């Protein structure tokens, strides 16, 4: 085992969206034992990079669910954008469904000033019918969206299409199950696109060639490491491709049963340093083998 790939939200980040001291120490321990640790996230590269920088970690970053790969020095070594025509069609469809969305490019994460209103309306309608929806937690989710590094508000979606940028991912969030399902159904047969989810209320669209699994395969081959020598850690559906690609798949204790069922190992939760615990298990068995 030579490489550890970890997801960020729900995995390396605790619920305060921080990398704990224990996880930082474990990553440095792995690196000091000659094992590479990389980040594979649905977040954009610059957002993930700013989180790692705050924690004093410098690694390869697979961003936007596999649409980009950057070296620890910030050089981009892979880019898998969608075509402008696809972006236009997706936006058109999401507008028709009156869904909240964000467009991730190589330069920023774009949204519109009036779109947040849709979410607050959905939240107020959905919560009396579904007491399971934890309002304060969801409001925290909304704050997390706005706290993303490189988050910009633009006047209308033509501004996004006109930009000479690479469009990596469109993120959609909805607390209205009927709307969300209708949105998902309208993309499900578009085979040139990939649709994944990283949480209960979202779905994300990218090029069919962009996935954490594809990028992990690409990066391990660049680094001369066989996929069997890779451990991947994740908690959600956008991690499935990399959990399957890696020789050893590790599910977080907070992952659902479906994700846990795909993995060889289940570690502790993200609030109890599950990543650090998986790293020590991995590195110590590696050391004992030599």
- Pick 91 or 259: Cβ nearer Ca ion: 259
Give the largest Cα separation in the chain, rounded.
Answer: 58
198 C-beta neighbours (distance < 10 Å), count: 22
Interface of this chain with Ca ion, residues 212 to 241, rule: CB under 5 A: 235-236
Q: How far apart are CA 42 and CA 1, in angstroms?
A: 24
- Pick 7 or 122: Cβ nearer Ca ion: 7
Task: Please work out, in degrees rounded to the nearest 5, the angle formed at the alpha carbon of residue 116 by the alpha carbons of 180 and 122.
Answer: 45
- Pick 9 or 217: Cβ nearer Ca ion: 9
- Pick 156 or 256: Cβ nearer Ca ion: 256
- Pick 160 or 236: Cβ nearer Ca ion: 236
C-beta separation of 43 from 69 below 8 A: no
Q: How far is the CB of 31 from Ca ion (least distance, A)?
A: 22
Catalytic residues: 7
243 C-beta neighbours (distance < 10 Å), count: 27
Q: How far apart are CA 32 and CA 65, in angstroms?
A: 28
Q: How far is the CB of 11 from Ca ion (least distance, A)?
A: 5
* Contact string (CB under 5 A) for Ca ion, positions 10-39, x = contact: x-----------------------------
- Pick 8 or 118: Cβ nearer Ca ion: 8
Which of helix, strand or coil describes residue 220? Answer: helix
Report how far apart the first and last C-alpha atoms of the chain are (Å, whole number): 11
From 7, 86, 102, 204, residue interacting with Ca ion (rule: CB under 5 A):
7
From 1, 5, 6, 9, residue interacting with Ca ion (rule: CB under 5 A):
9
C-beta separation of 94 from 70 below 8 A: no
Contacts of residue 166, Cβ cutoff 8 Å, sequence gap at least 6 = 79, 81, 105, 106
Residue 204 engages Ca ion in binding (rule: CB under 5 A):
no
Q: How far is the CB of 235 from Ca ion (least distance, A)?
A: 5
Q: How far is the CB of 28 from Ca ion (least distance, A)?
A: 22
Segment contacting Ca ion by CB under 5 A, of 9-17, 203-211, 269-277, 279-287? 9-17
Q: Where are the alpha helices (DSSP H) in the chain?
A: 21-32, 45-55, 84-96, 115-129, 135-146, 157-162, 177-185, 212-222, 240-245, 257-262, 274-289
Segment contacting Ca ion by CB under 5 A, of 1-9, 69-77, 98-106, 125-133? 1-9
Segment contacting Ca ion by CB under 5 A, of 3-11, 45-53, 107-115, 160-168? 3-11
Point out the residue whose Cβ comes nearest to Ca ion: 10
Q: How far is the CB of 12 from Ca ion (least distance, A)?
A: 9
Q: How far is the CB of 255 from Ca ion (least distance, A)?
A: 9
* Site residues for Ca ion per CB under 5 A: 7, 9-10, 235-236
């Amino acid at each position: 085992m030579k490489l550890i790939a970890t997801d960020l939200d729900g995995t390396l980040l605790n619920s305060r969206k921080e990398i704990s001291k224990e996880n930082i120490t474990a990553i440095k321990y792995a690196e000091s034992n000659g094992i590479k640790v990389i980040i594979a996230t649905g977040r954009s590269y610059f957002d993930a990079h700013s989180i790692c920088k705050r924690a004093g970690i410098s690694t390869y970053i697979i961003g936007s669910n596999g649409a980009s790969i950057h070296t620890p020095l910030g050089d981009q070594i892979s880019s898998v954008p969608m075509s402008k025509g696809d972006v236009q069609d997706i936006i058109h469809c999401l507008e028709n469904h009156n869904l909240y969305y964000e467009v991730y490019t190589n330069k920023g994460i774009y949204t519109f000033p009036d779109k947040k209103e849709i979410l607050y309306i959905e939240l107020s309608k959905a919560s009396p019918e579904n007491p399971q929806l934890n309002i304060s937690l969801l409001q925290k989710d909304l704050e997390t969206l706005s706290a993303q590094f490189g988050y910009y508000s633009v006047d209308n979606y033509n501004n996004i299409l006109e930009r000479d940028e690479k469009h990596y991912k469109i993120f959609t969030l909805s607390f209205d199950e009927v709307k969300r399902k209708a949105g998902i159904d309208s993309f499900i047969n578009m085979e040139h696109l990939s649709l994944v989810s990283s949480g209960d209320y979202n779905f994300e669209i990218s090029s069919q060639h962009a996935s954490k699994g594809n990028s992990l395969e690409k990066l391990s081959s660049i680094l001369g490491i066989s996929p069997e020598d890779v451990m991947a850690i994740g908690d959600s559906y956008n991690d499935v491709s990399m959990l399957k690609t890696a020789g050893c798949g590790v599910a977080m204790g907070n992952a659902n049963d479906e994700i846990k069922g795909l993995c060889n190992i289940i570690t502790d939760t993200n609030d109890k340093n599950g990543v650090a615990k998986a790293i020590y298990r991995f590195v110590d068995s590696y050391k004992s083998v030599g």
